[in-house]
Structures are given as structure tokens and as C-alpha cells.
Amino acid sequence: MSGFIEWLEKLNDRDTKVRAVLRRSLSFEPGAFPAAYPYVEPFLKGEDAFWRRKVHYLAAGLWAQHGSDGTPDGRSLGAACAAYATSKKGSDSPERRFIALLDADRDQLPHRLRQMVALLKGFPLDWDCLLKDLLGWAVPEKPVQNRWARDFYRNTTQAFESDSHPSEENA
């Protein structure tokens, strides 16, 4: 688990209002809600990099919104979206939302990610991986988006194939 998520979990163990404040911060641009500063700024230790700060505030708010702690069985966002899409058989809405998320630029990302994480409430996420992925979001070659797409389609395709093709045991 990353130091940041551990930091948030320790703060939350001491003071249960941490999640509430960080959830509320999602109503603002990441890093623009002063009540969240005491929970994020000490971890950043005065770092000035704009995108890094913004991502930490976004990740903190999403962690609070989702309600799950960093667990070893957490999934990448792409795999969690695949599990959600598989649970909504017959609907193409989860895939459309996922594609819109993959296409998001830095300005659109917080909004689209908040919507997606809200849908993934019952699905465990790997918060360390998500934070790392968000830090690399704007790389021109899009390695994060490509990995999420592979995780999504690999998992939805496997679910589709297992539903469509009975195993030899069942034949």
C-alpha cells in the first residue's frame, strides 16, 4: 500500500470526519477545498508540482467516496470496470462510460472518474495503482489508458466467452 493511502487510513482511524471532508472535496476542483488541506498537504510536504497535487486531492476524494480501504485483492480500475460491466449484462452503458473515461483529458478526468468510481462502490479497487496511474495520465503514448483498456476487454471478453461457450464438461 502506498504511503498516501496508508496516511489517509491512519487519519481516518483517528478521526472519522476525514472521509466526510474528503468526499465533500469532490464537489470542488481537486485541491480547491480548504477543509481538505490538513489531510493532503502534510503528505505532499510543500510539493509544488500542479498535476501531482491535483491527483493526490482527487485520489483522496475518490478513496473517501468509494469507502473501501486499500486491500490486497483490489483491482485495477480497468478490471473493476469490467466486473461492473459484466454485472450489468445487456447494457452497453458501462462500456460507453469506460470509453469516455479513457478519452478524458486532464480537465475532464476528475468529473468522469468521480462518476465511474461512484458506480464501482461494491467493487474493490487497488488505490495505490490508481494513484500511480493518475500521475501518469497525460503521457502522450497513453500507457495508463492502454493498460486499463486491456484489463477491461480481457476481463469482459473472458466473461462473455464463459457465458457463450459451455465447457466440455457441460456439453
Reported as a single tens digit per residue, the pLDDT across 59-84 is 999 999 998 765 556 789 999 999 99
Which residues, 6 or more positions from 6, have their beta carbon under 8 angstroms from its beta carbon? Answer: 70
Residue 159: predicted pLDDT? 54
Q: How far is CA 35 from the centre of its chain?
A: 22
46: left (phi over 0), alpha (psi -120 to 50) or beta: left
Residue 99: predicted pLDDT? 97
Neighbours of 38 (CB within 10 A): 12
Reported as a single tens digit per residue, the pLDDT across 73-119 is 678 999 999 999 999 887 889 999 999 999 999 999 999 999 999 99
Task: Identify any residues that bridge with 75 across adjacent strands, giving them in sequence order.
Answer: 125
Task: Identify any residues that bridge with 131 across adjacent strands, giving them in sequence order.
Answer: none
Residue 40: predicted pLDDT? 96
DSSP string computed for 97-159? HHHHHHT--TTTHHHHHHHHHHHTTTS-B-HHHHHHHHHTTT-TT-HHHHHHHHHHHHHHHHH
CATH fold of 3-170: Peroxidase; domain 1 (1.10.520)
Task: Please report, for the chain, the start and end positions of each structural domain, with discontinuous segments joined by +.
Answer: 3-170
- Which grid cell sits at 66? 468509494
Dist. CA 160–CA 169, nearest whole Å: 18
